[in-house]
Amino acid sequence: MHRGPAEHEPCRCAGNCRISQLVREGAAREAAYPEITIGVATAPEDGDQAASLLEAADARLYMQKKHRRTTGPASAASPTTE
């Protein structure tokens, strides 16, 4: 049983201790590397107005996020819109 701050008291975390323990164990086994996803649009290929460029960049951002979810992190392959 997990103990509270005073070590002699039972923890009052309502069962979340096991979750915390599993997260810590998983983090100790695997290194965590932060990743970012960006969407890029260029003028004039994707538009000549800010709104159309933002729309194209946003679409690419979400396409990349979807690709990363289905192929795993740091995939070498990248989806294209062509």
Q: How far apart are the first and last CA of the chain?
A: 56
pLDDT digits (tens, 9 = 90+) for 41-71: 999 999 999 999 999 999 999 999 999 888 8
Distance CA(59)–CA(54), nearest Å, equals: 8
Distance CA(32)–CA(44), nearest Å, equals: 38
**pLDDT score recorded for residue 76:** 46
State yes or no: pLDDT of 1 exceeds 60. no
Structurally, how many domains does the chain consist of?
2
The answer on 61 and 42 residing in a single domain is yes
The answer on 39 and 22 residing in a single domain is no
Write down the pTM of the prediction.
0.50
pLDDT digits (tens, 9 = 90+) for 23-47: 888 777 777 677 888 999 999 999 9
Q: Which domain holds residue 65?
A: 33-74
